[in-house]
């Protein structure tokens, strides 16, 4: 009798801990997922393809070539095989237009662009895949420092 009560109690406690654990983990998970999603894996919404984007150096250097690597997950790469890829740089808080760079295909699913930002501050790289006359874009924010 006593044993079963203790067992029940510990079960209850366990459940409670699991709940609390889940709740806080969920919260942290959401925050970090949103951050990562924004920073490193912008979504090609039309095809639900998360792109992996890496900038080198990061933050980018002003008025210099910076390497932007775009990787399409292997299971999606074939869909974009014939796409033309370009990167358009803008500053969201400014009004001076865009600078467009072509991205070269290194191999299936791997593209690289040498981008040259021309001002310090916050930039947005709009990565565009043109496929069969249709353009699909994903946005990658980044910062430029001296
Ligand atoms: Cu500017």
The CA 43 to ligand 1 mean position distance, Å, reads 25
The CA 143 to ligand 1 mean position distance, Å, reads 11
Q: Is the pLDDT score of 24 beyond 60?
A: no
The CA 119 to ligand 1 mean position distance, Å, reads 5
Quick one: pLDDT band at residue 11, thresholds 50, 70, 90? very low
Region 5-12: mean pLDDT is 46
Quick one: pLDDT band at residue 28, thresholds 50, 70, 90? very low
pTM for this predicted structure: 0.74
42-145: which CATH topology?
Immunoglobulin-like (2.60.40)
DSSP E strands, 72-131: 84-90, 99-107, 110-115, 121-131
The CA 96 to ligand 1 mean position distance, Å, reads 6
More confident residue, 126 or 12: 126
Q: Is residue 145 within 8 Å of 98, Cβ to Cβ? A: no
Side-chain-side CA neighbours of 143 within 13 Å: the count stands at: 5
What CA–CA distances, in Å, run from 87 to 15, 23, 137? 49, 39, 9
The Cα angle at residue 126 between residues 125 and 130, in degrees rounded to 5: 140
pLDDT digits (tens, 9 = 90+) for 89-134: 999 999 999 999 999 999 999 999 999 999 999 999 999 999 999 9
The structural domains of the chain, with segments of one domain joined by +, span 1-39, 42-145
């Amino acid at each position: 009798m006593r044993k079963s009560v203790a067992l029940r109690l510990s079960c209850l406690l366990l459940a409670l801990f699991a709940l609390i654990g889940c709740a806080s983990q969920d919260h942290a998970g959401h925050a970090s997922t949103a951050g990562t999603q924004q920073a490193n894996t912008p979504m090609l919404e039309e095809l639900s393809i998360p792109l992996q984007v890496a900038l080198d150096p990061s933050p980018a250097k002003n008025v210099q070539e910076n390497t932007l690597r775009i990787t399409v997950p292997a299971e999606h790469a074939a869909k974009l095989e014939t796409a033309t890829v370009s990167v358009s740089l803008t500053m969201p808080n400014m009004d001076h237009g865009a600078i467009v760079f072509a991205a070269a295909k290194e191999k299936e699913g791997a593209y690289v662009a040498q981008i040259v930002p021309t001002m310090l501050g916050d930039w947005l790289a709009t990565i565009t895949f043109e496929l069969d006359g249709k353009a699909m874009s994903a946005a990658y924010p980044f910062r430029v420092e001296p």
